[in-house]
Amino acid sequence: AQYEDLDAVKQAEIATKQVKKISARQAQYNADNDLWEANRMLTSGVASRKQLDLDFAEDDSESTVHVLVHDLKPPFLDGRTVFTKQLEPINPLRDPTSDMAIFAKKGSALVKEKREQAERARAAAKMAALGGTALGNIMGVKDEEAEAENEAEKKAKEDKEENYKGDSKFASHLKTSAATSTFAKTRTLKEQREYLPAFACREDLMKTIRENQVIVVVGETGSGKTTQLAQFLYEDGYCQHGIIGCTQPRRVAAMSVAKRVSEEMEVTLGSTVGYAIRFEDCTSKETKIKYMTDGVLLRESLNEGDLDRYSVIILDEAHERSLSTDVLMGLLRKILSRRRDLKLIVTSATMNAEKFSDFYGQAPCFTIPGRTFPVEIFHSKSPCEDYVDSAVKQVLQIHLSLPPGDILVFMTGQEDIEVTCQVVAERLSQLDDPAPLAMPADLQAKIFEATSDGRRKVIVATNIAETSLTVDGILYVVDSGYSKLKVYNPKVGMDALQITPVSQANANQRTGRAGRTGAGFCYRLFTEMAYRNEMFPNTIPEIQRTNLANTVLLLKSLGVKNLLEFDFMDPPPQANILNSMYQLWVLGALDNVGDLTPTGRKMSEFPMEPSMAKMLITSVEYKCSAEMLTIVSMLSVPSVFYRPKERQEEADAAREKFSVNESDHLTLLNVFQMWKTYGFRDDWCMKHFLHPKLLRKAREVRQQLEDIMKMQKMEIISAGTDFDLVRKAICSGYFHQAARVKGIGEFVNIRSGLPTHLHPTSALYGLGYTPSYVIYHELIMTSKEYMTQVTAVDAYWLAELGSVFYSVKEKNFDERGARRKADREFSKRAELESEMARQRDEVAKKQAESEASSNERKSTARIAIPGTPRHVGIGAGSRIGQTPRRRVGL
């Protein structure tokens, strides 16, 4: 009997263990379902209270909080107001059902295969490798790659400057570089300048500039228009009464061109020649030629409406039609009408030159003659389903059957480029043939050098090689026909990179790369029918396909009340403007009639996206602005964490030490605070797998943002250890990007219903519990939609800070009644504000009419009638003269 009892106990224990365990969240979900079913049965009369025990323990505890979503719209977005001439949305694809569009959406099968192979190899290496791991350290296994990296870092720090600002600037790293190409090695800088096509037509060019206020300069890539034009103007004396400003669409271009021009003029970078990019200004009082990104000049127009500091403005690479360049062209059109002394020069490749000329009232076009040779074009006979695999095959065919000459391959992004180089090398090694030279990203300067042993070079590049890069020796071009475009995705509410077919103009530009040094050949991996029917004549401008929240905020702060009246070269679609204005209204930057609020005025002063500016402004109210300054500056630089290939386990362990539960934003704050505690030391950064250069950059950004806040008279105060205030301030800027939990590590966007996932690097990933509600900074769209920079928030914070979207549902909550009440309150407030705006407009109209009538009376008072004395006026308000004295006779 004793053994039977023991056996029964053992069987009970086994049965207990075999019961499937459920999480606390699932248990709560089941209990809620049971309670709901019981209530339904009770109210329907199927069951009575005697038969059901409704006295659950959960009734005494805190109830589950649910967030309800509203769909409120302000009066100015009711669909009756038109904000643009482009009413229909613009699709970046000419024909979404075409072969090229379908293949672009599917992506390259070869790239996917190589990606999966790399992931499997990494997993196997992680299991097998001991170097750099805790077990390897115990066993004495050396990690040679890590030691080599540490030595390289030590060597790089030998000549480190003490000034953290100077050390983080690009200028401190721009040493005079050695010549790379044979042409550069055999000629001085002066001889190189004189060889450029722009130098040969200098006199004619300067004559055209002197005779016109606006001029469009057309020149092929490599003609010298970017580097020489500013120097011609400087030598001609245009900098005596102002600065010569030159805008670039890319940060790297602004910095590298400024470096080149300073070398040609034999001056120090930052003195006569300087550059300015976001969060970095390498200029001085002596600067006469200033290279900058177009966004920097746009920001300067906020503080200086007519750009009085500049005597000449050069809009370089205008054919790229970046967002800031398009807005600048509209602003400069108004400025030129007010400032007759300002010169504007628009430089472009051969694309869209006539359009720029028409926009500025038939401005003259000056063409810099280039050196081009005929190019023979070959189209694919059938559509290429895998553009990477087809490009590899075409490269191999050229290499094995055609005469010597370098090959340029156009791809969409870094992963495509790396796979193309890898597969070309692999397949040629199988053929036992000397492989062409394929360079990794850190050796890009070598693409300009001729190979020592006469081997053929294969250069794989993105669309940067169309216009911004000139490589001699290219005889063969392989055009995949695709590029990555930034397109606004309404599904996720933000911009995303999308692979799309290039335009006909881009395809022609790529073809021209083969005709630089001799007659060349271009192999297009698409059919001639696709070229004619599936590609746009020109690329859709960025202003017609991206989020315009920052642009609308900037234009509103510049006093552009009606966007319909602004001079856009290509007006943005109505849907894009509505989305952007709705986002600004949600953040409190616009009121219910579409005017800029005081909060919106403050937000426009910060050079960052509106949501981050809103976080900074709200942090002052919550008395945590010191912490928020650090978080925003850390978000403004690339990730400060790094993972060496062979030390990923150590890097992940080091990262976990900084993790703050429930917030990636607070993790970044913790990293910066610890770095500050240890005296901003580089060796501490290297020990904890952090990028010291990026941390120094974040420190400089923080200082600049602090200066802006002080100018705005915003108090900088620390919250101490009350991190709930910091999380609440973060919620104030990103409540529109909120998600609720659906499963372990899986969330769903509250407003759109889009499934999202925690990124494996998040501090919330792998927690013992999952928070009910989170907000995220951005989405990374790969195989899944991953949220990055995630912070857990309270449901009540969402309802308080995002009341236009959310409300909280609790026990005994009448959902319909509450929603109707909220709608009534909002409608009442909107009607009141609309009435106030109408009254303001009427007062302004009456005031304008009275001023006009007053001016009319003044002009009438000056009318003189011939034959009357000059001091006697005739008409309304005339001055009555004295009666002349008559002579009285006897």
Note whether 146 and 644 are within 8 A (CB).
yes
Instruction: From 59, 83, 101, give the residue that closes a domain.
Output: 59
Give the range of the structural domain holding residue 342, as residue numbers without chain letter.
Answer: 202-368
Ranges assigned E (strand) in 19-168: 66-69
Three-class DSSP category at 422? helix
- Do 358 and 383 lie in a common domain? no
- Do 480 and 609 lie in a common domain? no
Task: List all residues 6 or more positions away from 354 whose beta carbon is below 8 Å from its beta carbon.
Answer: 365
- Do 357 and 417 lie in a common domain? no
> HSE (CB half, 13 Å, CA atoms) of 726?
27
Q: How far apart are CA 492 and CA 522, in angstroms?
A: 38
Q: What is the pLDDT of residue 166?
A: 47
- Do 388 and 347 lie in a common domain? no
Q: What is the pLDDT of residue 462?
A: 84
- pLDDT by residue (tens digit) across 117-158? 877 776 665 555 555 555 555 555 555 444 544 554 444 444
Q: What is the pLDDT of residue 315?
A: 92
Instruction: From 368, 393, 408, give the residue that closes a domain.
Output: 368
In a domain, 599, yes or no: no
Q: What is the pLDDT of residue 887?
A: 41
Helices (H), 266-380: 294-303, 323-338, 353-359
In a domain, 299, yes or no: yes
**Residue 32 burial (CB < 10 Å; 0-12/13-18/19+)?**
middle
Ranges assigned E (strand) in 709-767: 738-743, 746-749, 755-758
Q: What angle do CA 838, 844, 846 make, to 5 degrees?
A: 105
- CATH label of the domain that carries residue 364: 3.40.50.300
- Do 342 and 395 lie in a common domain? no
Number of folded domains that form the chain: 4
Beta-carbon count within 10 A of 33 CB: 10
In a domain, 693, yes or no: yes
In a domain, 860, yes or no: no
Note whether 425 and 458 are within 8 A (CB).
no
Q: How far apart are CA 376 and CA 822, in angstroms?
A: 67
In a domain, 146, yes or no: no
- Do 395 and 332 lie in a common domain? no
Q: Which two tokens stand for residue 317?
A: 């690479």
Q: How distant, in Å, are the alpha carbons of 160, 395, 582, 696 from that of 701?
A: 20, 45, 29, 9
Three-class DSSP category at 239? coil
Q: pTM for this one?
A: 0.72
Beta bridge partner(s), residue 660 = 663
Largest CA distance in the chain: 166
- Do 483 and 459 lie in a common domain? yes
Please report the DSSP string for 170-227 in residue order.
GGGG---PPP-SHHHHHS-HHHHHHHSHHHHTHHHHHHHHHH-SEEEEEE-TTSSHHH
Q: What is the pLDDT of residue 24?
A: 59
- Phi, psi of 196, rounded to the nearest 5 degrees: -70, 145
In a domain, 492, yes or no: yes
Instruction: From 368, 393, 416, give the residue that closes a domain.
Output: 368
- pLDDT by residue (tens digit) across 279-320? 788 888 889 999 999 888 988 888 887 888 999 999 988 888
Residues of the chain by 3-state class (helix, strand, coil), percent to 5: 50, 15, 35
Q: How far apart are CA 276 and CA 282, in angstroms?
A: 6
- Do 324 and 401 lie in a common domain? no
- CATH label of the domain that carries residue 656: 1.20.120.1080
- Do 736 and 792 lie in a common domain? yes
C-alpha torsion 89→93→96→101, nearest 10:
-160
Q: What is the pLDDT of residue 140?
A: 53
Q: Whats the size of the chain, residue-wise? A: 890
C-alpha torsion 71→543→779→418, nearest 10:
160
Note whether 344 and 216 are within 8 A (CB).
no
Residue spans of the chain under pLDDT 50: 51-52, 54-62, 144-146, 148-149, 152-176, 179-181, 432-442, 859-890
Q: What is the pLDDT of residue 291?
A: 92
Q: How far apart are CA 792 and CA 666, in angstroms?
A: 11
Eight-class DSSP state of 446: G
Q: What is the pLDDT of residue 83?
A: 63
**Residue 60 burial (CB < 10 Å; 0-12/13-18/19+)?**
exposed
Q: What is the pLDDT of residue 878?
A: 37
Q: What is the pLDDT of residue 752?
A: 83
In a domain, 176, yes or no: no
- Do 482 and 354 lie in a common domain? no
- Do 224 and 358 lie in a common domain? yes
Q: How far apart are CA 257 and CA 673, in angstroms?
A: 36
In a domain, 866, yes or no: no
- Do 233 and 335 lie in a common domain? yes
